[in-house]
Amino acid sequence: MSETAQGGEKFSSHTGFGLGAAAIFLALDQVSKWWIVHVFGLVERGRVPVFPHFDLVFVKNKGVSYGLFSQDSAAGQWFLIAFAIIAVIVMLLWLIKSETRLVALSLGLIIGGAIGNSIDRAIYGGVVDFISLYGFDYYWYVFNVADTAIVAGVIGLIYDSLIANRKNA
């Protein structure tokens, strides 16, 4: 179930699966943002209705989730990048020891999303968000593919810790 690396550390058989998920969602995230900014030109277009309750709108998020802890300075953005790098390293160490495909997938989604949003901070000075869902006079926050991957990954980890482990007990 595990492979031994140089130095005797054990790698989970699910590590490659998690890294693959991270790479796929990182690519999807970056391609979607590049297309929305440089091909579709959403910055110049403003809000673009797509379907009822779904618009495309360009928002540069200089904070973290929901725009919390907004950082207008370059130093603040680099602090958020450094924080994300540390979090990714911790999650990679966890991924290496993951015991299930669900945990590996969940960590891969979070890792890919965190790296994608960090790339935005380095290139654009903030995270490129563009998906706006709303309804019943309620506007949800604007988000992107990386945010979706992170949320799905967190839900997977919560499911694994609360429900999957209970089934195994």
Catalytic residue chosen out of the listed positions 72, 120, 129, 137: 129
pLDDT at 154 over 70: yes
Tell me the torsion sign for CA atoms 16, 81, 94, 4: positive
What pTM was computed for the model? Answer: 0.86
pLDDT at 68 over 60: no
pLDDT of residue 79: 84
Catalytic residue chosen out of the listed positions 55, 72, 147, 160: 147
Task: Respond yes or no: is residue 129 known to be catalytic.
Answer: yes
Contact 128, 43 (CB under 8 A): no
18 Ramachandran zone, left/alpha/beta (phi>0; psi -120 to 50): alpha
Task: Respond yes or no: is residue 147 known to be catalytic.
Answer: yes
Tell me the torsion sign for CA atoms 115, 119, 122, 128: negative
Average pLDDT for the chain: 87
